[in-house]
Structures are given as structure tokens and as C-alpha cells.
Amino acid sequence: MKKFLGASAALLVASSAAFGLQMPYFSGYAGFLSDIYNTKNSDAMAPKVSAETFFSGQLDFGGNLLLRGEFYMQAKDLFGQNIFKDPDEPNSFFRLEEISATYKIGTLNSTHYLSAFLGNFEPAGSDIFIQRQFGVAPITSMLTESWHGLSGASVYPFYGGGLAYVLHPQKPFALEFSLYNNEQIKNAGTSQEINRNAINTDFRIATVLPKLTLDFSAGLAFPIDKTDDAGNKVILIIREVQFHTGINMLIGDRHMSSFFMQAGFNKLTLNPSATDENTNKLSFSDLYFLLEPRLMLRNCTINITAFNIPTESADDMLYLKGIVTKDETINNLLGMNLCVVSDNLYLGNTNFTFGIHGTFFFTDSDLEDAINDFQSVIGWNKEFLVTPFIKFPVFGGTLNGAVSVSCLELASDWKSAIQATVGFRSQL
């Protein structure tokens, strides 16, 4: 082991010298989160304890070369079964969220970044791109807070590998072009589930101005099939094109009253010859939007949010994932949220944050039904959550705690109406 570490250190020094790089500076984050909940419509009070953790690290070689790594692990039920091995249904998984290498080239009027990556690299609808390019603090909504790595919840989550090029002029904007391979699951959750690769090409533009922060991206995905209509194996067939887009926009300043918007869709399938009724149109399960006026008062902040969030994205969100975890039939969440929060509270000399979410939403909304018969909205299944939360600095990091109560379930299914969450995050 000592020989291995010594050889690794020697290789690192030699590589730095070969490329004219400085010795690296390390920075990173780590977090752990646990949820306690009971499955919806369960016959007995048998709470499950899930857990997730992530580690993110960066090696900065004098600002010229950036090596990033991020890892994520989740256990669905810590005590219900063997978290490492279950032949019927895996209870835990480990995922490489991001491995990337970015080389920076400076010219007279601009800076260029060349990246090679694996994993979920700066996905559309996440604000991680503007954080890295402009050094700004996160601008996303408190409702969509996530423990799933630094990228957090996004409009278009993907997992693949590819290349990216960023042009960042001296002016306050940046352009990105990326080409990558993304693994998709067709007919997910059915007996005809098929894993297939898709070639993606994306374009992105972002800017940070005194009263406007904007990050817009759009792209095309070309899913690849390896069999023709007769079932014969072929090199590749592209039967459809999928369009996706995402935007983050903050009008104003995060330290004053402002307006935030996060929107986009993860898949609009374009195939003129298709007979599938879900092709060439959007559904609520593909559409993502979040509109949030933020009112900054003297002692607190009030955020009013209108949203529609697909399950694929909500599954990564701290305050919404409990709903989709308990009920696997949900495709999207459509609703409103009121958040009142204050970060100007003290316990002795310790400054902490306390707030409360009040969230009303539908769990079975249907866009086509609403367009054809708006009165059908009355019959949709409804949920109302009250979620007080606290953030408290401890041991050099932040301890988060929350209790979520589903008010409309208390009478009918009180066992699954209450969920508790505790987490810890620290900068390394």
C-alpha cells in the first residue's frame, strides 16, 4: 500500500511537471441524508429508514486543469433487508455521478474550456454550470433542494459520457457545445423495458448581470436501436428525434426581492410516421416548470411557487421525494408551495435557519384531460404537506432536519402521513 501511494504521488508530480502545471489544490463536499417513512396504504406500522450519501472532490492544478469526481450511494431500507445483496430486488446502489477533466486555455479576449466527462455532467436545468463559470452562489428554489450531489435536481437528468467545449469571453456570458452518449430506458416499468443508447448534442448560453442571471440550454437526442421492424440485428437505426430544453433565470438579486424561473422538458419525441399516441406531444410527466416570486422582508423571506415537476426530477428533491417514494404510481407533481423562512435567528452566538413549507399539489394530473375538460381537475387526487425545517451549523458543516406531515392523509392513512428527514453536509 505504501509503495502504491508513493508511486501515485511520484506520478502526480511527474504529470504536473510534464504539462507545466502547479501542484493541485483540493476542495470538495460530502453529505449524508436519512429518511424515515412508512409505505403508502401499508397494513402495519413498519417504518423504513432510507439513506443516501455523496462525496464530491476537485483537484485544481493552478487553474489550468480541473479534475472532478463525484460519487453517490443510496440504500432504500437500512434495516429491512440486506443492503448489499438481494437477489430479487437490489436494495442499494452505488453510482459514479461525475468523473471529468477540464483543461483551460486562455487567449487574448476569451477563455476556452475543453472537457471530457462520464456521468451526469452539468445537466440542463441545473445551475451548476453558472456556479462553475461565474463563481456565483446557487440560485435555485429551496423547494427543489437536493442531496443528490452538487448538480442537484435538474430538468433533464442524464447519464453518459462525452465531450464539451465552453467559450467564455471577457464579457459576462458563456457558450457551451457538448456531444455525449446517454443511456435511455424505453417503456420503463413494463415487461418490454429496453435499454438503449442515445447520441445527444446540446447548446448552452449563460450570463450573469447585476439584475439578471440566465442559463438556457437546448439539445437533440437520437435514440439508437439495434434491430429493425422484423427483429433482425442491424448496426443502428434512428427512428425518432427527441428535443429537450432547460432554463434557469433569476430576475433581480438573490439578496433582495426577485423572481426565479426554472422550466423545460426532458423529452419531446418527433417522429412523423409514429402511431404511438404519446409521440409528437408533451405530457405533464415530461414538462417541468417552476415559477417563484421571492419577497424579501426585514426578518424573513416569503417564496410563492407554482410548479409541475416530473417524478424523475422530484425523486432527487429533499422535500418532494418522500411523496414519490411512498407512491410509485405518481408520474408528476403539479401544485403550489408557500415557503416562509428566516436565516436571522440565533441560539446563543450561533446563527441558524428555520422555515416552513406549505405545499398543495395533485398526484395524478393530466394535461390532455385538463385541456379537453377543465372540470376534470376537480376529481384529481390531492395532497397537502406541511414541512417545518431547520438548518443548524455544527462540526464545521450544516445539520438539516425536517418533518413532513400530509394533512389530507392523517385521517385515512396516518401511518404514512408523517415523514422525518435528517441530513448533514460539509465542505472539505
DSSP symbols for 114-160: EEEEEES-S-BT-THHHHHHH-PPP-S-GGG-B-STTT-S-SB---E
Q: How many CA atoms lie within 13 A of 81 on its CB side?
A: 12
* CA nearest neighbour of 406 among 371, 377, 382, 380: 382
Tell me, what's the pLDDT at 185?
A: 55
DSSP 8-state assignment for residue 409: G
Q: Which residues of the chain have pLDDT under 50?
A: 1-5, 7-14, 17-18, 187-193
Tell me, what's the pLDDT at 1?
A: 42
Tell me, what's the pLDDT at 7?
A: 46
CB 267 within 8 A of CB 313: no
Tell me, what's the pLDDT at 323?
A: 80
CB 218 within 8 A of CB 201: no
* pTM given for the model: 0.84
Separation of alpha carbons 360 and 220, rounded Å: 34
Burial of 59 (0-12, 13-18, 19+ CB in 10 A): middle
Work out the mean pLDDT of the chain and round it to a whole number: 83
Give the total residue count for the chain.
428
User: Which domains does the chain carry?
Assistant: 22-273+280-427 (2.40.160)
* CA nearest neighbour of 208 among 294, 131, 128: 131
DSSP 8-state assignment for residue 4: H
